[in-house]
Structure 1
Amino acid sequence: MGIFKSKSQDDWKINYIKEFNEMRDSYEDKLQKKQGEIETLKKEIEELRALKSNLRPKEKQIKDTDIEQIKELRNEGLSYRQISDKTSWSKATVCRVLNGLYD
């Protein structure tokens, strides 16, 4: 009877090791798939960042001389629209200048 007992113990150990190895292989496969998904998402993020930077509007830089001219025209009594027409700056920019945003 001792022979059969050790045989069943050996079978149990072999089955346990097989199941463990199958489980480990399954998890490794899942990890590799997830890692592939992560890499794909990282590439997509980089592509979107590159696209986003290309779509950024270029800000028109206003010069100090333009700011002074706008203030002088306002002191002369011109309206925002008239100043905008004379300087080619938008009424919004004229408003920002006169409200001190660029000071």
Structure 2
Amino acid sequence: MGLFKSKSDESWKINYIREFNEMRSEYEKKLLAKQAEIDDLKKQIEEIKSFKSNLRPKEKQIKDSDIDSIKELRNQGLSYRQISQKTSWSKATICRVLNGLYD
């Protein structure tokens, strides 16, 4: 009887180890899949960051003489649209000039 008991103990241990190894193998597969997903997302973030850094605003392209003439035309009573037509600068740029963005 002692021999039978030890044989069933061995069988139980072998099954337990087999199931444990299968379970560990499944978890490792899931972990590897998640790590691959994380690596892919990190790569996408870096691509977005590099793209975003290329979208820096342009340096000031308007000359001081243009700024002075825009302010002078406004002092003469011209509208933003009229100044835009005379100087070929956009109304948005004229607005920025007159609001002191380039001062």
Show the counterpart of 1:79. 79
Show the counterpart of 1:20. 20
Show the counterpart of 1:35. 35
Query: How many residues were matched structurally?
Result: 102
Say which is worse superposed, 56-65 or 80-89, in terms of deviation: 56-65
Residue 30 and residue 8 in structure 1: after superposition, are their counterparts in 2 closer, same or farther (change >3 A)?
same
Q: C-alpha root-mean-square deviation of aligned residues, in Å? A: 2.4
Matched residue type, 1:59: K
Gaps in structure 2 of 5+ consecutive residues: none
Say which is worse superposed, 33-42 or 15-24, in terms of deviation: 33-42
Taking structure 1 as the reference length, the TM-score comes to 0.75
The superposition leaves residues 8-36 of structure 1 with CA deviations (integer Å, 9 ceiling, x where unpaired) of 11211121111111110111111112222
Gaps in structure 1 of 5+ consecutive residues: none
Q: Secondary structure at the match of 2:13?
A: helix
Matched, 1:68 2:68: yes
Runs of 4+ in 1 over 6 A off after TM superposition: none
